[in-house]
Copies of this chain bind each other. A is one copy, B any other.
Amino acid sequence: MQRSAGRVAKRVLAQAAGATQVAAPAPGSTSPNHPGAAAGLVRQLSALPWSPPVSIDSINPKVIKTEYAVRGEIVSRAQLLQQELSSKASSLPFSEIVSLNIGNPQSLGQQPVTFFREVLALCDYPALLEKDESHALFSSDAIARAYRIVESIPGRATGAYSHSQGIKAIREEIAAGIAARDGFPANADDIFLTDGASPGVHMMMQMLISSEQDGILCPIPQYPLYSASIALHGGTLVPYYLNESSGWGLEISELKQQLDAARASGTRVRALVVINPGNPTGQVLTEQNQREVVQFCRDEGLLLLADEVYQENIYEETKTFHSFKKVARSMGFFDKDLSLVSYHSVSKGYYGECGKRGGYMEVTGLDAEVRDQLYKVASVNLCSNITGQILMSLVMNPPKPGDESYDNFTKERDGILSSLARRAQLMTDAMNKLEGVTCNKAEGAMYVFPRLNLPERAMKAAAAVQMLPDVFYARRLLDATGIVVVPGSGFGQVPGTHHFRCTILPQEGKLPDVIAKFTQFHERFMEEFRD
């Protein structure tokens, strides 16, 4: 007890000292004596009990400020309800939690793509490659692919740290996949493999943000990884609003207005984030629109951060994915003309391998010295996980016609994508049938982001329990049905409007039931609160 009181006394004294930097004395140098004047204070405080040295008041305020609604309060409550369901199933008005808060397809029953998993298994246990019995269990092209991958890893060391950007041969495979996708060359040295796309976003924010004077232009609504990463690094999110009435259109005039306003107020705007296909909005940009965005970044001296993780998830027949790199190159902008980072991931697409944490960023048009710094930051964490690296290369180079797996692979891929397209339509239609709800079509990605026109009485009821109206709605939905969605306030929305994000991912056999429950809830909610 006396010692812990001494600690408090010392803190008080230390605070009084006031300086901010430690001149570190090496052994042998003299250290300052402990002031004798503390003795009285020590005695006064001697009855204090131990308390944890880290408290909510003493941690980094940037951490406290950070919000991440995709796993926020509604999800925490869902976890509690899940525990309740497990212990006494009949206590709640529903029998299961349906997690539509996050794009996590395999958690809702989507099966992994066979070829990908065959190759991963073989790479995890390369002894299988030498055994005849393996031919009864694995397709021949999976064996050949795994063999090639294992051979391409220095020392065949599938359990070693790789180069900090990822295994060279894997990066070459990915670069070849990008080149085939775009029709323009890609360079393995530009690829940084990451544990999912998120760490790549953090790395760039860490590079760009020195203080709150540094701003990042982000769409509103946005995937809250961006707002969270900007908050953690202490920067300023400069919002630009997508136009809901034109199908979440990205308008250059809005970009320009927000950029100018930010600059006029002293913010050094460093980069523009574009999410295409959009999250949470599901819009797919036209090529013409993308050209305008590229030109805007070039003219305004902005780094373009292109979140393209949903590039394979397009459901609208009239729409096509174009990478920003392809668009820029086709405009005649190369490394010396535009700074561009493109993010991709194994978590989305038709494969939905969220738990494997594979991803990459392709970094082009950055200054060599800045690239060196980026490499250094990557190297502090040594490398991303090798399984995720391998899977990323498979995604970028799937089976080709003539390969044994090709037919089965195509069937699995097309089955998932066509089902997702049907589900996008079903979900959009279901939302638009709800009273007071309007919903743009999910042209791509994995979500709908319907707008709720809530009755005045619902708004008042929310205010009475000190909740935002969209949180109030999502909370009511969860408590009544077990369905978990994310309130629009977690993504940002035009002030005074209310939305929620809901994935389109329940399997088709279950979707009608989910929609029926949702509809029933909504009707009752409106009944209860209709003005």
Chain A contacts with B in 344-378, Cβ cutoff 8 A = 347, 351-357, 365-367, 369-370, 373, 376-377
Among A14-22, A176-184, A310-318, the one that faces the other chain is A14-22
Residue A124 is within 8 A (CB to CB) of chain B in the complex:
yes
**Contact B63–A31 (Cβ < 8 Å):** no
Copy count, this protein chain: 2
Closest Cβ neighbor of A67 among chain B residues: B376
Q: Given the complex, which residues of B lie within 8 Å of A384, measured CB to CB?
A: 195, 357
Residue A109 is within 8 A (CB to CB) of chain B in the complex:
yes
Among A130-138, A438-446, A447-455, the one that faces the other chain is A130-138
Among A228-236, A426-434, A476-484, A521-529, the one that faces the other chain is A228-236
7 nearest A-B residue pairs (beta carbon): A14-B263, A19-B266, A3-B299, A121-B125, A107-B160, A71-B379, A357-B385
A261-B27 Cα distance, complex, nearest whole Å: 12
CB of A248 to closest CB in B, whole Å:
13
A109-B156 Cα distance, complex, nearest whole Å: 9
Number of interface residues of A (CB under 8 A): 151
Q: Mask for A1-14, Cβ within 8 A of B = 1, else 0? A: 00110111011011
Q: Given the complex, which residues of B lie within 8 Å of A494, measured CB to CB?
A: 26-27
A8-B257 Cα distance, complex, nearest whole Å: 17
Q: Given the complex, which residues of B lie within 8 Å of A376, measured CB to CB?
A: 63, 66, 68, 71
**Contact A370–B121 (Cβ < 8 Å):** no
Closest Cβ neighbor of A157 among chain B residues: B106
A154-B131 Cα distance, complex, nearest whole Å: 33
**Contact A107–B155 (Cβ < 8 Å):** yes
**Contact A381–B199 (Cβ < 8 Å):** yes
**Contact B270–A19 (Cβ < 8 Å):** no
Q: Given the complex, which residues of B lie within 8 Å of A267, measured CB to CB?
A: 14, 19-22
**Contact B120–A55 (Cβ < 8 Å):** no
A18-B10 Cα distance, complex, nearest whole Å: 40
Closest Cβ neighbor of A224 among chain B residues: B380
Among A284-292, A300-308, A466-474, the one that faces the other chain is A300-308
Closest Cβ neighbor of A128 among chain B residues: B137
A64-B372 Cα distance, complex, nearest whole Å: 10
Q: Given the complex, which residues of B lie within 8 Å of A207, measured CB to CB?
A: 54, 59-60, 63
A377-B202 Cα distance, complex, nearest whole Å: 12
